[in-house]
Amino acid sequence: MKSMIRKAIAFLMFAALSISVTGCGGSEPDLPITEMSMAEARGILGGISSTDAESAAELMEMDDREVEDFFKQYGYSIDGGAFKNGLDGWMSLSEEFGEILSISEPVMTSNSKEIIATFDINGSRRTGACVIVMDHRNKITSITTSAEYTLAEDMEKAGLNTLLGMGTTFCILIFLSLIISLFKLLPNGAASQAKQEKMAAPVENAVSQIAEREELASSASDEGELIAVITAAIAAYEAANGSSAGSDGFVVRSIRRHY
């Protein structure tokens, strides 16, 4: 018994040791932040911030490989698509920033997969930030620029977006209701309605004749006359529906009254 308890304790200790070793091995260290990564982030942001509209248009027309080769000759490693997206974002916010007064030194952080450089941007109209992300080989994989807005500006934008969405929805609903209301004016719709009314008229006449003749038959007890009336009504109904069967095409075998 004691040997079994000792074996169980030893097994639990071994399992706990294995879990702790696995946990230590799974946590990877953060990537080192070097002067090279800082210099590369500064250089790319400096190039983007000094690019005019004409040069930006030329760079945007280049494919990703051409952009990568262009920067490689200056010693920069960058993803072509990431640079074009970053340049487009910067140019779209250039009017928001106004004149760039200063760009701060980067705040460098890292994790096990990437290095992140964050720059504070001070413009004549607005402040903002630019975030440059690099992989373990100091290759730039993402460039994101954002502007800072006041609470009033954020609320104004949210209100405008809400009004725009609701207005668009109501306009579409009104347009659809107008289209549906115009269906009755279409030629096919009018012809179909007239055809249905034309087919319904003989049936209604036949039903009314049957009702009248049944009243007569109940008073005169003339079953033969009632059979003739029903036969004529059925023949009229068949003719209205396109059937050419005459009165001899069917036989009324019995008539039952239900009160």
Could you report the per-residue pLDDT of 45-102, keeping only the tens digit for each? 999 998 998 999 998 999 999 999 999 998 899 999 999 999 999 999 988 899 999 9
Closest CA to 83 of 26, 31, 13, 132: 132
Weakest mean pLDDT among 46-60, 170-184, 209-223: 209-223
CB 224 within 8 A of CB 190: no
Rounded distance between C-alpha atoms, residue 212 and residue 220, angstroms: 12
% of the chain beyond a pLDDT of 90: 34
Kindly report the average pLDDT of the chain as a whole number: 78
Beta bridge partner(s), residue 108: 117
Rounded distance between C-alpha atoms, residue 129 and residue 125, angstroms: 14
What predicted TM-score, i.e. pTM, was given to this entire model? 0.54
CB 127 within 8 A of CB 148: yes
Residue 20: pLDDT band with limits 50, 70, 90? very low
Is the pLDDT at 32 greater than 80? The verdict is yes
Radius of gyration of the chain (CA): 43
| The two three-digit tokens of residue 123, written as one number | 């413009």
Residue 181 has a pLDDT of: 82
Q: What is the mean pLDDT of residues 245-255?
A: 57
Residue 22 has a pLDDT of: 44
Is the pLDDT at 240 greater than 60? The verdict is yes
Residue 254 has a pLDDT of: 61
Q: Which helix (H) or strand (E) holds 144?
A: strand 140-147
Residue 95 has a pLDDT of: 87
Residue 115 has a pLDDT of: 95
Locate tokens 């932040």: which residue? 33
C-alpha distance across the termini of the chain, in Å: 95
CA dihedral 191→192→195→196, nearest 10 degrees, is -150
For residue 4, what are the CA distances in angstroms to 13, 16, 148, 175?
14, 18, 67, 82
More confident site: 27 or 61? 61
Is the pLDDT at 21 greater than 50? The verdict is no
Is the pLDDT at 235 greater than 70? The verdict is yes
More confident site: 200 or 11? 200
CB 124 within 8 A of CB 99: yes
Mapped onto helix, strand or coil, the DSSP state of residue 129 is strand
Locate tokens 């260290």: which residue? 29
Q: What is the mean pLDDT of residues 123-130?
A: 92
Residue 28: pLDDT band with limits 50, 70, 90? confident
Rounded distance between C-alpha atoms, residue 33 and residue 111, angstroms: 10
Rounded distance between C-alpha atoms, residue 93 and residue 147, angstroms: 7
Q: What is the mean pLDDT of residues 100-126?
A: 93
Rounded distance between C-alpha atoms, residue 40 and residue 139, angstroms: 9
Taking only the tens place, the pLDDT of each residue in 130-155 is: 999 999 898 999 999 999 887 887 78
Beta bridge partner(s), residue 12: none
The C-alpha angle with vertex 257 and arms to 253 and 259, in degrees rounded to 5, equals 165
Distance of CA 96 to the CA centre of its chain: 29
Is the pLDDT at 191 greater than 60? The verdict is no
% of the chain beyond a pLDDT of 70: 66
Q: What are the sequence ranges of the domains in the chain?
A: 35-148, 150-181, 186-249
CB 72 within 8 A of CB 105: no
Q: What is the mean pLDDT of residues 106-114?
A: 93
Amino acid at 89: G
Locate tokens 């004749």: which residue? 209
Q: Which fold has domain 35-148?
A: Nuclear Transport Factor 2; Chain: A, (3.10.450)
Is the pLDDT at 109 greater than 80? The verdict is yes
Residue 180 has a pLDDT of: 85
